[in-house]
Structures are given as C-alpha cells and as structure tokens.
C-alpha cells in the first residue's frame, strides 16, 4: 500500500464514522498474506481461521493505540505472530498433558491438509520444517516463503538482524540434513 493511501486509511481508522469501512479495506488487503503466515505455523485450516479472526478482532480493539510509528501491515503481522505463538504454546502444553508429540500432531494435519506425498522431497521438507523450534520455524518461514528482508523481520519480531541471520542459516542446515537422512 502506498504511503499516502496508508496515511489516508489510518486517518479513517481513527475516525469512528469511517472506522468500520476502513477496517474492512484493511482486512481485505492483508487477510490472505496473514492467513498463510499463520497457516505455515499451525498447519491446520480451522486453527488458522480462528487465529486470523482473533488477530483482526484484537487489531480492531487496539486501533486507538496505533500511532503510525510502523506500517499497518507490520503492526498486523506482529499481532498475528503473537497470537500464533500463544496458540502454539497452549497447544504444546495440551500435547504434553496428553503425552502426544506436538510434531506428530502437526504431521497428521500436514498429511490430511496437503496435496503432497509424505515420501516426496516436498513432504520431507515440510516435516523437517515442523521439527524446528517454533521461533526458528517462524524465522525460516518469513525468510524462505515470504522472502522478507531481515530488517523487516527484526522490526516485527524485535530480534536483532544478526540473530535472525544465524537462526535462518542454522534452520537451513538442519532441514538439508533431515531431507538427506530420511
């Protein structure tokens, strides 16, 4: 979204009379990209749908606190990321209590919700990605799939560029090793 369009949208979002219409534009502009960001982390469509709705509900409630210090997309992305990480933490806790491995849980969703075979390179790649720690998987997805710049990722995640580069490099090595060994 161009800067002038974004500024215009922010003004409308802060005006109670135009807020709903402006928010609808915001949702329509960013929904798909946010959906895939969440989906790559939680794998299942239904969970993704819930998290996406929660993200936009929280964003709507926090509109008055948005000061335009970052771009709207960066702000939304940050909310979506926090919601996703919270969801994964809760999920892992539930898995721990039920003695089910979180990786097995997500792998089952992967087989049910995707179009690939488990033995294909793509299948191995997806399983390798699922084995990464959540934050590292987040970094990997943002860099590999969304092709974000490290500086943008740093602004969203609040992590240094150096740490992000190291995390991504390490993730790639782990994934490559996994694909060869399985």
Partner 1 sequence: MKTPLPKSEKEGFRLEEFSSKSDKKAPFQVPDGYFENLTPKIMHAVNAAQSNATAASPFGWIFRPMVWAPALSVVLLLGAAYMFFYPTAPENSLAQEELNISDLEDLDLLDDYDVVAYAEIPTAHEAYEELDEEEVMDFILDQDITSSSLFTNDITL
- Chain residues binding partner 1 by CB under 8 A are 20, 23-24, 27-28, 31-32, 35-36, 39-40, 43, 45, 52-53, 56-57, 60-61, 113-116, 121-122, 125-126, 133, 135-136, 144-145, 159-160, 162-163, 166-167, 170, 172-177, 179-181
How many other CB atoms are found less than 10 A from the CB of residue 98? Answer: 8
Query: Which residue matches tokens 């979204």?
Result: 1
- The CA radius of gyration of the chain, in Å to the nearest whole number, is 18
Residue 130 near residue 137, CB atoms below 8 Å: yes
Of residues 28 and 98, the one with the C-beta less far from partner 1: 28
Of residues 10 and 34, the one with the C-beta less far from partner 1: 34
Q: Of 18, 25, 52, which Cα lies nearest the Cα of 37?
A: 52
Cβ of residue 136: shortest distance to partner 1, in angstroms?
6
Cβ of residue 5: shortest distance to partner 1, in angstroms?
18
Cβ of residue 97: shortest distance to partner 1, in angstroms?
22
- Measured CA distances, 131 to 70, 82, 128, 140, 143 (Å): 32, 20, 5, 12, 17
Query: Which residue matches tokens 């979002």?
Result: 13
Of residues 36 and 98, the one with the C-beta less far from partner 1: 36
Cβ of residue 106: shortest distance to partner 1, in angstroms?
12
Of residues 7 and 166, the one with the C-beta less far from partner 1: 166
3-state SS, residue 27: helix
Cβ of residue 142: shortest distance to partner 1, in angstroms?
13
- Measured CA distances, 161 to 32, 62, 152 (Å): 26, 28, 9
Of residues 3 and 141, the one with the C-beta less far from partner 1: 141
């Amino acid at each position: 979204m161009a800067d002038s369009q974004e500024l215009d949208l922010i003004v409308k979002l802060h005006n109670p009379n135009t807020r709903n219409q402006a928010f609808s534009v915001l949702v329509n502009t960013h929904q798909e990209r946010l959906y895939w960001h969440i989906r790559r982390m939680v794998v299942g469509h239904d969970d993704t749908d819930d998290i996406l709705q929660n993200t936009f509900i929280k964003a709507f409630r926090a509109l008055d606190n948005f000061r335009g210090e970052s771009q709207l997309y960066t702000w939304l992305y940050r909310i979506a990321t926090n919601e996703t990480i919270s969801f994964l933490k809760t999920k892992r806790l539930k898995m721990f209590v039920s003695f089910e491995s979180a990786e097995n849980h997500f792998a089952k969703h992967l087989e049910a919700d995707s179009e690939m075979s488990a033995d294909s390179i793509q299948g191995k790649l997806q399983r390798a990605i699922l084995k990464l720690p959540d934050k590292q998987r987040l970094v990997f997805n943002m860099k590999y799939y969304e092709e974000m710049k490290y500086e943008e990722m740093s602004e969203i995640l609040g992590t240094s560029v150096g740490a992000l580069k190291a995390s991504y490099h390490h993730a790639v090595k782990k994934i490559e090793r996994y694909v060869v060994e399985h």
